[in-house]
Amino acid sequence: MPEVLGWGRYEPSRSEAEANDQSYRAGLPPATLDEHYPVGLFAEESLGFPGSPGISGHRPDGTGWSPRFRRIEERVEADCASFVLEDRLAGLELVTTIAVTTGAVITVDAVLTNIGDTPYNLNTLAATLPVPASAAEVLTLSGRWCMEFQMDRRPFIGSTIVENRRGRTSHENAPVVFVGTDGFRESEGHVWGAQLAWSGNYRVTADRMGDGRCYLQLGELLLPGEVQLAPGEAYDMPQVITTCSDNGLTVASGRFLSHLRQSVRPKDLGPRPVNLNTWEAVYFDHDLDRLLRLADAAADVGAERFVLDDGWFGGRRDDSRGLGDWFVSPDAWPTGLNPLIERVTGHGMVFGIWFEPEMVNPDSDLYRLHPDWTLTTDGYEPVLGRGQLVLDFGRSEVRQNMFEQIDKILSNHDIGYVKWDMNRVVVQGSGAEGRAGVRRHVLGLYQLLDDLRAAHPHVEWESCASGGGRIDSGILARTDRVWTSDSNDAADRQLIQRGASLILPPEMMGCHIGPPTSHTTGRTHSLGFRAATALFGHLGIEWNVLTMTDDDRKALREVIDLYKTHRELLHNGVPVRLDHPDNSIVAHGVVDADLTEGLFSVASTATRSSSALTPLVIPWLSNEREYLVEPLFIGGEHPGKDHYPPQWILGGSVMTGGFLGGHGLSMPVFWPERALLVRVTEA
């Protein structure tokens, strides 16, 4: 079994002694095995590994439960190593590939094949990656609906286990883990990170064992009996993506983002258009005249894409019925969608539309025809969520039906964007054979998205799952944007987007300006704060522009113009996060690759503990160059101009990058729940 001896700092010219794996072994303590157990790439219990095995399973007679592989073939190239391993006694073949990609990212792939004569019940296949014992802290992302991607940090003691059993990626736990040296920061310390490219169930572990050795382990969480390999059948494990940094968390996460941009989603989509989504403006009230006026108002403030949300199809007049019947409702739309589409496209905007293809309401034509198409278990009363059941995309006939319904809508209308929602978790989800069906459903989802994208290459696709319930590298390979959270509360969004930025580049992160009072928290925020928060993503509007005051409409136009002016930098630059000693301050920004300009946000999310702010250190610029530093006021607000502000607030100041990265930028005093934008350009 291949064993990772180290990753991170590496010198290619090693002596023969350093290349010997025994050089990496500590002395043997008493009362242990006579040899060090290896922490193999797929750790083997059969050699004494005491943690969670990298592979586990069994045959019907109970054999094959603790395999021990022998390497029979290997191929090592400059940026890739492949190994073929066998255990003839267990009847298993394992082929694994480790590749170094652009931007210091390492990927691990594996295929396990049953070469025996009887079925093999697979329980686990998970990659195991040792990390140095100097890793002292663990960082994971957890949360809930409307508060996703919260950065949880704890000492690296014992085991940290992140499990997801929701059937989709989930609001609660993201499939990513970082570990780092004691006190690692955004720009300081050694950091190692790993994530799993999978949109279903998973298990992510960071473990410090009794002998002090540490490892990360990632793999799909298979439900009981979910994968039974017949003789000759194979299991293709979701890809593990890893990276590391000697210069803090921002560099490590930035390598994940570069990998996503360059290897996973290399297609150039052009400038990210300003979305206007109709949900919070009209909900289910699809009145054509009102929507035509909304389209006019959207174009007037500068929107470039108009997305019609839930309520346009079948018998869908509320959230209790109609899902599964994807035809234009003759009741809500007696003249069809084209009058609205023509008004939207006549303004030069792209028309988008909402689907929730994985769901079905019991009160629907589809369910009445095919009640057996759901991901439920025969003999049990199904558990409803939002009055919905989940369709089983593991069945080809279900995928075919959904393809035909969606394809017909897209083929018969001028639609350039699909918001794909998924609003409930999977509970007791059995497939057609009665076996747990989550894995096959996720693979079916991937297949359907791939087929639809091939049939409609001009359409862009958004992954939405009640907000951030399905965001991972598996779905990001097939979608162009995600809805980061159902919360548009700017104070919460500052924290949500900071955590999401560990795995999401700004151009894929849907960030909308909601109404003054958030419909998920009841909290009221100024336009300037809401706009500054939404600016650092793929900007949209989730606010009824028909009810705005003239002053708000004018200010919103200015915000959208500012976004259009800077979106080349925002969406093609290098995202960075900034440390600040005050926990109420959330600071981040984007710099261009040549370090000639940058745009930064400093947000105050709560009342501060001190009367004045300490300087904001910006270590991501060239130390030798001089920069003009000036504020950008947004939404008609001028935070920091009162109360004896620093000079740069009043008219701009020239400073060196070394000063900004050393002493830092002196901060003004401004109110809680406000944000200050700082523009830096080479002088």
Please list the active-site residues: 421, 486
Residue 610 identity (one-letter amino acid): S
Question: How many whole angstroms separate alpha carbon 571 and alpha carbon 569?
Answer: 6
Question: How many whole angstroms separate alpha carbon 634 and alpha carbon 640?
Answer: 12
Question: How many whole angstroms separate alpha carbon 177 and alpha carbon 160?
Answer: 10
Q: Are 25 and 60 in contact (CB under 8 A)?
A: no
Tokens of 586: 């959330």
Tokens of 375: 């991901």
Cβ-proximal residues to 289 (8 Å cutoff; 6+ apart), any chain? none
> Mapping DSSP to helix (H, G, I), strand (E, B) and coil, where does residue 653 land?
strand
Residue 555 identity (one-letter amino acid): A
Which helix (H) or strand (E) covers residue 298, if one does?
helix 288-301
Whole-number Cα distances in Å, 464 to 200, 423, 501, 644: 14, 8, 17, 45
Q: Are 458 and 417 in contact (CB under 8 A)?
A: no
Q: Find the DSSP H helices in 544-633.
A: 550-572
Q: Are 130 and 213 in contact (CB under 8 A)?
A: yes
Q: Are 639 and 667 in contact (CB under 8 A)?
A: no
Question: How many whole angstroms separate alpha carbon 364 and alpha carbon 441?
Answer: 21
Question: How many whole angstroms separate alpha carbon 195 and alpha carbon 240?
Answer: 6
Cβ-proximal residues to 305 (8 Å cutoff; 6+ apart), any chain? 273, 274, 275, 276, 349, 350, 351, 352, 416, 417
Nearest to 206 by CA among 192, 185, 226: 192
Question: How many whole angstroms separate alpha carbon 515 and alpha carbon 289?
Answer: 22
> Which 8-state DSSP code applies to residue 315?
T
Question: How many whole angstroms separate alpha carbon 340 and alpha carbon 197?
Answer: 38
Question: How many whole angstroms separate alpha carbon 490 and alpha carbon 488?
Answer: 6
How many CA within 13 A on the CB side of residue 327? 11
Q: Find the DSSP H helices in 426-526.
A: 438-455, 473-476, 490-500
Question: How many whole angstroms separate alpha carbon 193 and alpha carbon 125?
Answer: 19
State the virtual CA torsion across 529, 532, 535, 540 in degrees, nearest 10: 20
Neighbours of 613 (CB within 10 A): 20
Neighbours of 403 (CB within 10 A): 16
How many CA within 13 A on the CB side of residue 94? 28
How many CA within 13 A on the CB side of residue 601? 30
